[in-house]
Structure 1
Amino acid sequence: MTPSSADPSDPAAARGISRRAQSDIYRAGISGSTPRVPVAGDALEAAARSAMSAEAFAYIAGGAGAERTVDANRAAFGRRQLWPRPLRDVSTRDLSTTFLGVDRPSPLLLAPLGVMELAHRDADLAVARAAAALGVPYTLSNQASVAMEDVAAAAPGGSRLFQLYWSASDELNASLLRRAEASGCEAIVVTLDTHLLGWRTRDLDLAYLPFTRGLGIAQYTSDPVFQQLVRDRVRRGPDAAAPAAPPVRLTPKTVAAGLTIARRAGAVTGSGSIRDNLRSPLPRAAVETFLDVFSTPALTWDDLARAREWTTLPIILKGIVHPDDAIRALDVGVDGVWISNHGGRQLDQSVPTLDVLPTIAERIAGRVPVVFDSGVRQGSDVAIALALGADAVALGRPYAYGLAVAGEEGVREVVRNILAELDITLGLTGHTAVGDLDHHALRDVPGGS
């Protein structure tokens, strides 16, 4: 059985994945074929850069400020070394784990990544199908290119979580969580660190934010509460008290942006006609409404209690970096803590997540699951994070790069390669199960800073 046809409900689905992955590649090489999706991380990123527009690559690959947090996340992995331990019987290895009370074939998750249509036209649909094929839970982004119901229909057997960006409209928040529960999501991941949009220099230099083009707002335009907010905005007309927006010059890019918005406006206008949507005030009003309600810098710990009123699903807080915040999360009764600095996209010179993982894991002491992301690029990274106390590890940019290179197949190959290297790392460190990894498998680099 190949990884793409494995039964994701079978905890043994990931066993032997490294042998199959290497065998497939080397056997194909006999006839001169090399992987369509590069295996090495740098080569994968370079291939994705070639496949995407400059704006798309900058948005997905870029970080905040001078991108020192992006570098720090990677450097933190470089300060840990794995101990090779031979002469142990590792002929049978098991990547399976339990997360949120469900047996999983591996400890890997796919982190929420927005605006995947920048990478490939199949966007979230391709990611969901690839994740389902390997039994890897996929965290649907609030900034998706495809509505959650359509993703569920495309991969009905897949495991899904839903990421919520806490909107300025509580009615909208409640509606999104109701939809997530109805569409089969297993948990809600409340992302905490985007209450202000990070200072993303690559995007600023290109003057490019996809949301202003109507991209990445499908969860909103498909939502009945949001649709009503848009209609109300049009009905009210311009706000005389609001500062006047700067004039927009009519250029070929302006026209292209208008067409993009019109193509994606059917859910709001009720029309599949681009011509009708170009004439309607609703598409532009949808973009402006989104920009108004996307987030709220006034969100506090006390506000989180309202989420319990909106859903019965487990709630995980994503964006925890300080140990005191992890304890506060336990105090408010959440069901999981997700250690993340948004892959370096929000705060420049942030504390790298791997450096705080051991302390947070020790303080939480198994009371709720600990999910980890930021800086994960390969299977050995997953092993290091597990050894330092993570219960599950989330992969971000690499799967987006795979999507850009080869669509659904690209995502599947990237995830398969991560799992295959994790399996090999497990065996070469003398372990037979991911649950056996702990700090004894690691050595800090001498003199590492």
Structure 2
Amino acid sequence: MTAIPAGICSLSDYEYYAQQALSQSTWAYLSGAAMDGYTHRRNRQKLDDVLLQQRILCEGMGQGDCQQTLLGRTLALPLLIAPLAYQKLAHPMGELASVQAAAAQGVGFCLSTLASSTIEQVAEVSPKAERWFQLYCQPSREETLHLVRRAEAAGYSAIVVTADAPINGVRNAEQRVNFMLPEGVSAVNLAELPKPQQGDSVFACWMGQAPDWNTLSWLRKQTTLPLLLKGVMHPDDAVRAVALGVDGLVVSNHGGRVLDSQPATIEVLPRIRQAVGPNLPILLDSGIRRGSDIFKAIALGANAVLLGRPVFYALAVAGPLGVAHCLRILRDELEATMALCGCASIADIDSTKLFHP
């Protein structure tokens, strides 16, 4: 097990060390954003713009905690590891390390369709972890359903359908280094499925195979597992998804890796919460780097967040121990923020705990 370097005390510290540890090509893939990176930067800028309102001398704070119940399961803090592809780029254990760290820290883990470890391997190494499966719909419904049935059989407790990446974003950092997956890293869960049709036209090739609302309606009828839709950035899409019977939404712009010049997720979150009402579970990702970011997301309407790139960075620096440490940092930061804002529980966090000029 790799030791955590002395002096690491924040997620940004892990990012610094990860850049030193990884090859230029891998770094370009992991840290890169679409086009000019405006959306990637805006995710952080707009989180930073949200200000907290400290409260003092609050009673009854001694018994507080940051636990959250989500889809009937209790998490130690309102967080899941996001569905990150190809985690063996960062560490030989890949997803197996991350799911063990998630279980140790009492948070959830979402496995990517493009994982470099199989659905079954992840379940076997951490059978008691709260495991969700992220689904990229495949060109045929039979292939899509095959993945869903594997996740069901392996004990995953929810399906997260990603809708915001029917094509890859234009990622210049990867192009400049001619990024290619190294030997031994691949989308192993797709190995037995037919290769997608290739072509040189976005519309004639890729979008002709992309899922649509009919796909989501069909998928809702195929599984009794909770179904969440990831990549929701518009209230009208949120309302339509709810009408089709989804059990939750993930407000996400894919960390700025797909469509550039979008708003930040924290900007659209309140509108989506207003559109779907108070009860539907909503998660937010893209830009989370501090426990205070989790607090801000909860205050503006989320029930939990997903953590993406920082998991890669911690994995590259210190393996499963690094990921567990990364998650613990966020819990400590969240609890400190809650205590200083007068919130003894996640239920106490709302927009009144923010500063409104």
- Does the alignment pair 1:347 with 2:259? yes
- Report the Cα offset of residue 209 of structure 1: 3.7
Give SS of 2:132's match.
Answer: strand
Indicate the residue corresponding to 2:48 in structure 1: 78
- Does the alignment pair 1:410 with 2:329? no
| C-alpha distance after superposition, 1:129-166 (max 9, x if no partner) | 00011111100011101001001111111110000011
Of 344-353 and 305-314, deviating more is 305-314
| C-alpha distance after superposition, 1:277-297 (max 9, x if no partner) | xxxxxxxxxxxxxxxx99865
- Does the alignment pair 1:335 with 2:306? no
| C-alpha distance after superposition, 1:37-88 (max 9, x if no partner) | 7223332211011111111111111110011111000011121111111101
Indicate the residue corresponding to 1:315 in structure 2: 227
Q: Give the distance between the partners of 2:340 and 2:154, measured in 1 at CA.
A: 41
One-letter identity of the residue aligned with 2:160: V
Indicate the residue corresponding to 1:10 in structure 2: none
One-letter identity of the residue aligned with 1:78: D
Q: Give the distance between the partners of 2:218 and 2:186, measured in 1 at CA.
A: 26
- Does the alignment pair 1:366 with 2:337? no
Taking the TM superposition and a 5 Å limit, the aligned residue runs for 1:107-256 are: 107-210=78-181, 215-221=185-191, 223=192, 226=193, 229=194
- Report the Cα offset of residue 172 of structure 1: 1.1
- Report the Cα offset of residue 171 of structure 1: 1.3
Unaligned runs of 5+ residues in structure 2 are: none
Taking the TM superposition and a 5 Å limit, the aligned residue runs for 1:24-63 are: 36=6, 38-63=8-33
Q: Give the distance between the partners of 1:296 and 1:199, measured in 2 at CA.
A: 19
Indicate the residue corresponding to 2:340 in structure 1: 428
Q: Give the distance between the partners of 2:215 and 2:33, measured in 1 at CA.
A: 28
One-letter identity of the residue aligned with 2:166: H
Q: Give the distance between the partners of 2:32 and 2:333, measured in 1 at CA.
A: 26
Unaligned runs of 5+ residues in structure 1 are: 1-32, 234-238, 245-292
One-letter identity of the residue aligned with 1:139: C
Q: Give the distance between the partners of 2:206 and 2:86, measured in 1 at CA.
A: 14
Q: Give the distance between the partners of 1:429 and 1:359, measured in 2 at CA.
A: 24
Q: Residues 339 and 183 (structure 1 numbering): CA distance in 2 closer, same or farther, change over 3 Å?
A: same
Q: Is the CA contact 2:220–2:246 (under 8 Å) kept in the aligned structure 1?
A: no
- The count of residues paired between Structure 1 and Structure 2 equals 350
Q: Residues 328 and 297 (structure 1 numbering): CA distance in 2 closer, same or farther, change over 3 Å?
A: same
Q: CA RMSD in A?
A: 2.2
Q: Give the distance between the partners of 1:42 and 1:218, measured in 2 at CA.
A: 30
| C-alpha distance after superposition, 1:70-129 (max 9, x if no partner) | 100001112111111110132221111211122222211111100111110110000010
Q: Is the CA contact 2:220–2:245 (under 8 Å) kept in the aligned structure 1?
A: no
Q: Is the CA contact 1:37–1:410 (under 8 Å) kept in the aligned structure 2?
A: no
Q: Residues 35 and 295 (structure 1 numbering): CA distance in 2 closer, same or farther, change over 3 Å?
A: farther
Q: TM-score, normalised by structure 2?
A: 0.93
Give me the identity figure in percent.
Answer: 40
Q: Give the distance between the partners of 2:7 and 2:242, measured in 1 at CA.
A: 41
Q: Is the CA contact 2:220–2:244 (under 8 Å) kept in the aligned structure 1?
A: no
Q: Which has the greater radius of gyration?
A: 1
- Report the Cα offset of residue 35 of structure 1: 5.1
